[in-house]
A and B are shown apart, each in its own frame.
Chain A
Amino acid sequence: MAPTASKSPHPSGDNRFKLLDRAIAKHQARGDALIEVLHAAQGIFGFLEPDLLMYIARALKLPLSRVYGVATFYHFFTLKPKGEHTFVLCTGTACYVKGAADIQKAVEHRCKTKFGETTHDGKISLVSARCVGSCGLAPVAVVDNSVAGKLSVQGAVDQIEQWQVQAQEVPA
C-alpha cells in the first residue's frame, strides 16, 4: 500500500473515500442516516460494491447484514456498475397506455439485452422506471439524463443505434 500525497481514509488510497467520510460526518455517523449515506456513496462511486458496503457498515457501526439488506431492498441502489450510456424507459401507466411496451420490445431486441441489465460490452444500460412523472409527454424515456418525450419506437431504436455506432468508431 503506497502512501498517497493526501491521505485517504481507505487503504486503497482512493480519494473518493474522503468525500464519503465527509457525507458520513454530516450525519454524525448516525445509523439512521444509512439510506442518506448510501445515496451519497452511490453518487460518488456510481455503484455499491461489497467493499464499499463493508466500509459504510464499519463507519456507521451497523451490522453488514443491515447495510446489505437495505442496499438490496431499494430499487434505486445498484450493486453492479452501470453502462456508459443509460436508457431509462418509463413504464408508468400513462406511458404504458401510450405504447411503452412496444418500445421496450424493440429496444430489447436491438440491444439483445433485457431491461434491468447492461449490454455485454458495458456500453448501454437499460433501466425501466416506474414513473418519471412526465405523464403529459407519454411515452417518455430518460436518455442519458435528458428527458425524451412523446417517443416513438423508431426514435428509441435510432438512439440505441447511434450509441452502438459510436461504440464501434471509438474502440474502448
Chain B
Amino acid sequence: MTVEDLQEMAEKEQTRQQQIKHRILYCSAAGCVSCGSHGTRDALTKVIKDAGLEKECEILGTGCMGLCGEGALVKIQSDDTLYQRVDESVARRIVEEHIVAGRKVRENLIDQTAPFFAAQVKIVLENCGRIDAESIEEYIAAGGYDALAKAVTELQPQEVIEEIRKSGLRGRGGAGYSTGLKWGIVRKAKGEQKYVVCNADEGDPGAFMDRSVLEGDPHRILEGMAIAGFAVGASQGFIYIRAEYPLAIERLRLAIKQAERLGLLGNRILESQFNFRIDIRIGAGAFVCGEETALIRSIEGRRGRPRPRPPYPSEKGLWGMPTLINNVETYANVSPIINRGSAWFAAIGTPKSTGTKVFALAGRIRNTGLIEVPMGIPLRKVIFDIGGGTPEGTEFKAAQTGGPSGGCIPAQFLDLPVDYESLATVGSIMGSGGMIVMDSTSNMVDVARYFMDFCVDESCGKCIPCRVGTVHIHGLLDKISRGAATTDDLVLLEELCMMVKETSLCGLGQSAPNPVLSTLRFFRNEYEELLHQPEVFVPSGDGRDNPSNA
C-alpha cells in the first residue's frame, strides 16, 4: 500500500459513510456492555429490520462515550443526539420515533451542552465513541495513519523526535518525563536491536483510561508506536497488557491483523524502508509489572521483579537492548502532534504541562465516567462542573489521584490547577489518571488502610523496606482503626513511612506510604480521634497510688 492508496481508501470510506442516512452508534466499552448494551444492539437491529430500514441505517459499536454511569449509551450521528439508559424498549422507541418520525425521545436525551461535555477538550479520546472500534477503514477515514505516512515519507527520525520534544509532551504514566528527550536517548543508545514497548498494565485500582482508549481506538496506539519505532530506530514493538482486559486484548489483536494486511505494520511500511512489527504480551496480575524494569522482566517470561536503575531501559532494557517504554496515553498523543504540529499541541494546557489529560472519574460523585480536560484546569471545575459534585446531602472531602502511589487533595485546594507540578506541591501526583472522589461519608484512616492493604499484597518481596515495612504500616493502621493505638504509634507510623519511602528499591515501595502521609497531613484529626486516650492519672503525692511504684 502506498500513501496514495491510503488517501484513496479514506475518501472511499468517507463517501460510503455519507451515503448512509442514519449511523446509529452504541457504546461497546466495558461499562456499557455491563449495562447490557449488547441487548440494546440486538433490539436496534431487530426493530430496524422489521421496519425495513436496513439500507438507510448502520449500527456500529464504538469505544467509550464518556458518561459510564448512565449506560447503555446510544448516539445518532446524523444529528448528534446522545441517549442514556437505553434498554430494549427505549431502543424500539428511538427507531420508531427518532429515525422514522423525526421526534427525539425526550426522556432519555442527554444534554450535550451540559458542562460535562462542554468543559472537555478531546485529543486522545477524539475517536472514542465516534468510530467503529473494530474497523480500520473507519479509522483511516477519520485521518488515521496519516501521521505515520507523513513520518515515513516526509520526515527524518530526528525531525520526528524534535517535533515531539517541542510539543512539550510528557509521559502520561504519571512520572511526567519529557517524551521527546526519552526518544532522543533511545535513538542515540547503541544496540543492534531496539525495542518499543507500550505499557498497558493499568494496575491502579480505580483507573480505566488506558482500557477505554485501547478498546475504543486501538489503531491510534499502533500508529503511535510505529511512529516511535521509526523515530528511535526500532523494528519490534510489544504491548504489555493486563489479562483483566479481555476485550481490549481482542480488539488489539484484530487491529494488528488489519494493519498488517494493509501493509501499515510489518515489512516495508507504506513502501518505505521502514519495518515494524507489534506483538502482544499479556500480564498475569502483578501491580509491580507497571514499573518499567519489572515489566521488562515479565515480557522476558520471568517473575516481574524490579532492578535498580541506572542503567535505564532506554540504554539496557529488553534482553539488554535499548528499549523505549511509554504509556498508552502517551502513544495516543503522538499522531495528532505529527499531524497538526507541535505548536498547536503546546498551546493547549500550561507552559510546563502541555496538552490534555484523561481522567477516570469515580467514587462519590454524580457523573462517573471518562473525561479529558486541558492541563491546568482547576480541580473545582473537574469535580463540580464536569463531575456534577458529590451526591445530594454530602459534602466534598477529598479527591484521590495517583492510586496507591498518590495522595488525597482536600477541599482547601479545590482551586489548584491540575498539572504535574501543582499536584506534587500538595503531596499527590498526577498518576496515570484515576480520580476517586470522597465525601463526608468516607473515613480517611480506612482509605489509607485500604491502599496499604493493596501494597502489602502487591509488594514483590525483593527489597526489605517494602516487603516488611508495608506489613508493619498496615498493622499500625489496623491498630489505629481498632482504637488501640497511642500517640507513640502515630509517631512510629510517620517514621516508618519515611523509612519505606526513602529506602525502597522501586517506585512501588517509594510511593507506597504516600496515601498514609497525605491523609496524615490533611486529616490528622481523624487519626487522633481514634487514638486510645489513657485515663488521666493524677499522682496524689505520697507515691502509694502510683501503679508504677507498686
Q: Which residues of A are interface residues toward B (Cβ below 8 A)?
A: 30-36, 38-39, 66, 69-70, 73-77, 91-94, 96-98, 129-138, 140, 147-149
Q: Which residue of A lies closest to B458 (CB)?
A: A130
Is there an interface contact between A73 and B303, defined as CB atoms closer than 8 Å?
Answer: yes
List 19 extra interface pairs beyond A91-B205, A134-B34, A147-B34, CB under 8 A. Answer: A32-B299, A34-B301, A39-B282, A39-B284, A66-B302, A73-B286, A76-B243, A93-B205, A93-B206, A93-B436, A93-B451, A131-B203, A131-B204, A131-B206, A131-B244, A132-B30, A132-B244, A135-B207, A138-B363
Is there an interface contact between B284 and A77, defined as CB atoms closer than 8 Å?
Answer: yes
In the complex, what distance in Å separates the CA atom of A77 from the CA atom of B303?
A: 12
Is there an interface contact between A134 and B363, defined as CB atoms closer than 8 Å?
Answer: no
Q: Which residue of B lies closest to A73 (CB)?
A: B303
Q: Find B208's partner among A32, A70, A133, A148 (CB 8 Å cutoff).
A: A133
Knowing A130-B454, A147-B34 touch, does A92 contact B302 (C-beta < 8 A)? Answer: no
Is there an interface contact between A134 and B31, defined as CB atoms closer than 8 Å?
Answer: yes
Interface residues as binary, B298-333 with A (CB distance below 8 Å gives 1, 0 otherwise): 111111100000000000000000000000000000
Interface residues as binary, B271-306 with A (CB distance below 8 Å gives 1, 0 otherwise): 000000000011111110000000000111111100
In the complex, what distance in Å separates the CA atom of A149 from the CA atom of B368?
A: 13
Q: Which residue of A lies closest to B360 (CB)?
A: A135
Knowing A36-B282, A74-B285, A93-B363 touch, does A147 contact B403 (C-beta < 8 A)? Answer: no
The residues in B between 127 and 184 inclusive whose CB is less than 8 angstroms from any CB of A are none
Q: Which residue of B lies closest to A31 (CB)?
A: B301
B509 interfacial contact with A, CB 8 Å: no
Q: Which residue of A lies closest to B32 (CB)?
A: A136
15 residue pairs from A and B, CB less than 8 Å apart: A30-B301, A31-B301, A35-B301, A74-B304, A92-B205, A93-B362, A96-B205, A130-B285, A134-B68, A134-B208, A135-B363, A137-B68, A138-B362, A138-B363, A149-B34
Kindly name the residue among A31, A73, A133 whose own CB sees the greatest number of chain B CB atoms within 10 A. Answer: A133
Is there an interface contact between A137 and B69, defined as CB atoms closer than 8 Å?
Answer: yes
Q: How many residues of B contact A (CB 8 A)?
A: 52
Is there an interface contact between A97 and B30, defined as CB atoms closer than 8 Å?
Answer: no
Is there an interface contact between A131 and B34, defined as CB atoms closer than 8 Å?
Answer: no
Kindly name the residue among A30, A31, A70, A74 whose own CB sees the greatest number of chain B CB atoms within 10 A. Answer: A74
Q: Which residue of A lies closest to B66 (CB)?
A: A136
Q: Which residue of B lies closest to A32 (CB)?
A: B301
Chain B residues positioned under 8 Å from A93 (CB to CB): 204-206, 362-363, 400, 403, 434, 436, 450-451
Knowing A92-B206, A97-B438 touch, does A137 contact B34 (C-beta < 8 A)? Answer: yes
Q: Find A94's partner among B211, B284, B363 (CB 8 Å cutoff).
A: B363
Q: Find A129's partner among B34, B244, B434 (CB 8 Å cutoff).
A: B244
The residues in B between 358 and 391 inclusive whose CB is less than 8 angstroms from any CB of A are 360, 362-364, 368-369
Is there an interface contact between A97 and B284, defined as CB atoms closer than 8 Å?
Answer: no
Knowing A73-B303, A93-B450, A131-B204 touch, does A147 contact B30 (C-beta < 8 A)? Answer: yes
In the complex, what distance in Å separates the CA atom of A92 from the CA atom of B208?
A: 11
In the complex, what distance in Å separates the CA atom of A35 from the CA atom of B400?
A: 33
Is there an interface contact between B205 and A131, defined as CB atoms closer than 8 Å?
Answer: yes
Chain A residues positioned under 8 Å from B454 (CB to CB): 130
Knowing A97-B438, A147-B34 touch, does A135 contact B282 (C-beta < 8 A)? Answer: no
Chain B residues positioned under 8 Å from A97 (CB to CB): 362-364, 436-438, 442, 447
Is there an interface contact between A69 and B303, defined as CB atoms closer than 8 Å?
Answer: yes
The residues in B between 461 and 479 inclusive whose CB is less than 8 angstroms from any CB of A are none
Is there an interface contact between B436 and A94, defined as CB atoms closer than 8 Å?
Answer: yes
Is there an interface contact between B368 and A136, defined as CB atoms closer than 8 Å?
Answer: yes
In the complex, what distance in Å separates the CA atom of A38 from the CA atom of B230?
A: 33
Interface residues as binary, B417-459 with A (CB distance below 8 Å gives 1, 0 otherwise): 0000000000000000010111000100001001100100000
Is there an interface contact between B286 and A136, defined as CB atoms closer than 8 Å?
Answer: no
In the complex, what distance in Å separates the CA atom of A32 from the CA atom of B202?
A: 22
Q: Which residue of A lies closest to B289 (CB)?
A: A74
Knowing A70-B302, A76-B243, A147-B30 touch, does A130 contact B450 (C-beta < 8 A)? Answer: no
Is there an interface contact between B363 and A133, defined as CB atoms closer than 8 Å?
Answer: no
B237 interfacial contact with A, CB 8 Å: no
The residues in B between 104 and 136 inclusive whose CB is less than 8 angstroms from any CB of A are none
In the complex, what distance in Å separates the CA atom of A131 from the CA atom of B203?
A: 8
B35 interfacial contact with A, CB 8 Å: yes
B33 interfacial contact with A, CB 8 Å: yes
Chain A residues positioned under 8 Å from B368 (CB to CB): 94, 135-136, 138
In the complex, what distance in Å separates the CA atom of A73 from the CA atom of B302?
A: 9
Whole-angstrom distance between the Cβ of A147 and the nearest chain B Cβ:
4
Is there an interface contact between A130 and B205, defined as CB atoms closer than 8 Å?
Answer: yes
Whole-angstrom distance between the Cβ of A129 and the nearest chain B Cβ:
7
Knowing A97-B438, A130-B287, A147-B33 touch, does A135 contact B450 (C-beta < 8 A)? Answer: no
Chain A residues positioned under 8 Å from B299 (CB to CB): 32
Whole-angstrom distance between the Cβ of A75 and the nearest chain B Cβ:
4
Q: Which residue of B lies closest to A77 (CB)?
A: B284
Chain A residues positioned under 8 Å from B363 (CB to CB): 93-94, 97-98, 135, 138
Chain B residues positioned under 8 Å from A74 (CB to CB): 283-286, 304
Knowing A93-B403, A136-B369 touch, does A35 contact B205 (C-beta < 8 A)? Answer: no
In the complex, what distance in Å separates the CA atom of A43 from the CA atom of B362?
A: 32
Kindly name the residue among B71, B282, B363, B364 whose own CB sees the greatest number of chain A CB atoms within 10 A. Answer: B363
Chain A residues positioned under 8 Å from B442 (CB to CB): 97
Chain A residues positioned under 8 Å from B523 (CB to CB): none
In the complex, what distance in Å separates the CA atom of A33 from the CA atom of B451?
A: 32
Chain B residues positioned under 8 Å from A135 (CB to CB): 68, 206-208, 360, 362-363, 368
